[in-house]
Amino acid sequence: MGGTYNEVTPSLTLGKNNLNISSKSSSSSQNPASSTSNSGQTNIKSQEAGQNWPPSLQEFVNTSFIRSSLLSNADKITFNTQLQSLMEKALSTGKIWENDWKSQKIPILDKSCKKLELECLTKKPRVKNQEQTPTSTVFLPPPKRQKTKKKQMTTDTLRSTLPATPNISNKSANTELAGLKGGKDSEFNSAEKKKQRMARFGAESLTPEPFKRTSETSSTKVIIGKCEDLEKHYLRLTSEPDPYRVRPQRVLEKSVKFILDKYKKDSQTGYSYVNNQFKSIRQDLTVQHIKNDFAMQVYETHARIAIENNDLGEFNQCQSQLKYLYYLKKKSDKALSNNVYTVELEFTCYRIIYMLMMGNYSEIYKLKLELCSNTPKPKGKKQIELLDCIEKAFLLQSYQINGDYHKFFNTYDYFKSIPSMKLAAHLIKHFLVSKERIKSLNIIAKSYRKLPISFMVEELKLTNKTEDDIDNWNTFLTKYNLLQFLVLDTDFDCSASRGVLQNIVVQNGFRKIDIKGQV
């Protein structure tokens, strides 16, 4: 529907002695009649445009193009030709200001008009720049519009020369068409034309209705769950939520307990099951707009389980939502409970380490500024310990940037010694230390020829105890093909390993952590 209208897009250059109207219609560009019309157009540059054209002419051209949108492709070509000829006739005879454009007719649009002629005024013509008493038939352009039009008339399209032609589609098109004056456009508003518009736009009413977006009404609608299932498979929503497939909070509370008990007691229950169930619970919370303490508990539990199973994508989604939930909690509860603030500090530490893993230093600086500005005085031993861990997490960034591997691995050892920070130590161990060890070993190899393995193990916080562990010395060397540089199982040949270590550090993707689910 909109495409049919857009087939005729007016292009008009109004100048002192220059007028050009053309169509973007592909059919008109290939038609000989259109080509003949265009070849006869003048190319004189427009000067002082904008102050020489009456507003009634602009209104006439705008209205004519709106009416032409209902024509067939062949009639549109004829319309372009007739309008072009009419404008050229008005220019050549000097009747631009004398012509009654409000009464002007075009044969292709007005069947009662058999010949293309100007509707010249019978009264005294308007003399430019001379004061006159306005009458019902003399059209004086407003001075302010004349000034603004001077800039507009320099372009080659009607849309920049005249007021923007309305984009007609569906009900808005019917509104624009119905707004034209019936006296002058009796043909346009005839019963036959109305039937054509009804057929074109469907059986819609010509009376405009307020515009409503389906997505807005659905997003603001609050769903009250009626499902009683403790377990429910997670599926992405592709339509309006069904209340009989959504669980209310009382059922979700039972579901969380049931799933956690099953996860802890049943060895056959893996992470994929728990992750799927918690995503389903989070979905039910979202569609019901539940953002209370229970929602925080769900996201915190899911985030911790995701860390334990090295699922960074799910952890990131949870911690992003938790930041928003903590904000809402503080906003609604000025006397924030000690427990909520303590948990927030815990996840702040995880968030810093996560940003360090991603190399998002700017976000770490922002977070540091927020904490320095808004962190209240800690209460109790637990909060003091967590604030100390947050400070250590910020220091990890400084050590990583400066290449201070000695302090970096001592800080890693510190996190392992704090029971409440075992998940923070888990993140560092599985996503940071291996790459930091290679970078550190590369620095060491450039400074020494040979070093004792005992020194290397102590400096990089490795161990010889548990095999197949990230912190195991032999596992670490095997992973990066460095066993060949061991000398009698007592020393490490630094000078021989320099080239290999440098290639590992500079290779593509070494510094990236590829995860799913980032937001």
Interatomic CA distance for residues 127 and 132, integer angstroms: 9
CB of 349 within 8 A of CB of 343?
Answer: no
Mean predicted confidence (pLDDT) in 279-283: 95
Give the model's confidence band at 82: pLDDT under 50 very low, under 70 low, under 90 confident, else very high.
confident
Mean predicted confidence (pLDDT) in 467-482: 85
If one compares 284 and 215, the residue with the highest pLDDT of the two is 284
Secondary structure element (H or E) that encloses residue 350, with its range: helix 338-358
Per-residue pLDDT reduced to its tens digit, 49-67: 444 578 888 888 888 888 8
Per-residue pLDDT for 390 more than 50?
yes
User: What pLDDT shows up at residue 151?
Assistant: 38
Per-residue pLDDT for 280 more than 70?
yes
C-alpha closest to that of 309 among 342, 352, 278, 274: 274
CB of 33 within 8 A of CB of 82?
Answer: no
pTM to 2 decimal places: 0.57
Per-residue pLDDT for 319 more than 60?
yes
User: What pLDDT shows up at residue 95?
Assistant: 81
Best-predicted range by mean pLDDT (43-52, 210-219, 272-281, 501-510) = 272-281
Map tokens 């997490």 to a residue.
393
Between 47-56, 64-73, 304-313, 362-371, the lowest mean confidence (pLDDT) is in 47-56
User: What pLDDT shows up at residue 512?
Assistant: 57
Between 281-290, 357-366, 415-424, 459-468, the lowest mean confidence (pLDDT) is in 459-468
> What is the three-class DSSP state of 416?
helix
Map tokens 């039937």 to a residue.
195
C-alpha closest to that of 314 among 300, 297, 325, 328: 300
Per-residue pLDDT for 237 more than 50?
yes
User: What pLDDT shows up at residue 195?
Assistant: 63
User: What pLDDT shows up at residue 373?
Assistant: 80
- Backbone angles phi and psi of 216, in degrees to 5: -70, -45
Per-residue pLDDT for 45 more than 70?
no
**Half-sphere exposure in the Cβ direction for 207 (13 Å, CA):** 0
If one compares 446 and 152, the residue with the highest pLDDT of the two is 446
Per-residue pLDDT for 473 more than 80?
yes
Q: Which long-range contacts (CB under 8 A, 24 or more apart) does 165-169 make?
A: 165/10, 165/62, 165/65, 165/66, 166/66, 167/2, 167/5, 168/2, 168/5, 168/66, 168/69, 169/1, 169/2, 169/5
User: What pLDDT shows up at residue 140?
Assistant: 42
Per-residue pLDDT for 448 more than 70?
yes
Give the model's confidence band at 413: pLDDT under 50 very low, under 70 low, under 90 confident, else very high.
very high
Question: Domain coordinates of the chain in residue numbers?
Answer: 57-119, 244-336
Tokens representing 493 are: 């040949």
Q: How far is CA 500 from CA 145, 484, 497, in A?
A: 75, 11, 5
Per-residue pLDDT for 182 more than 70?
no
Percent of the chain at pLDDT exceeding 70 = 66
Interatomic CA distance for residues 255 and 290, integer angstroms: 16
If one compares 468 and 252, the residue with the highest pLDDT of the two is 252
Give the model's confidence band at 332: pLDDT under 50 very low, under 70 low, under 90 confident, else very high.
confident
Per-residue pLDDT reduced to its tens digit, 260-278: 999 988 877 889 999 999 9
CB of 122 within 8 A of CB of 108?
Answer: no
C-alpha closest to that of 498 among 452, 441, 453: 441
In the predicted model, what is the mean pLDDT of the chain?
75
Mean predicted confidence (pLDDT) in 141-148: 45
Cα dihedral 351→357→359→363 (10° resolution): 0
Per-residue pLDDT for 491 more than 50?
yes
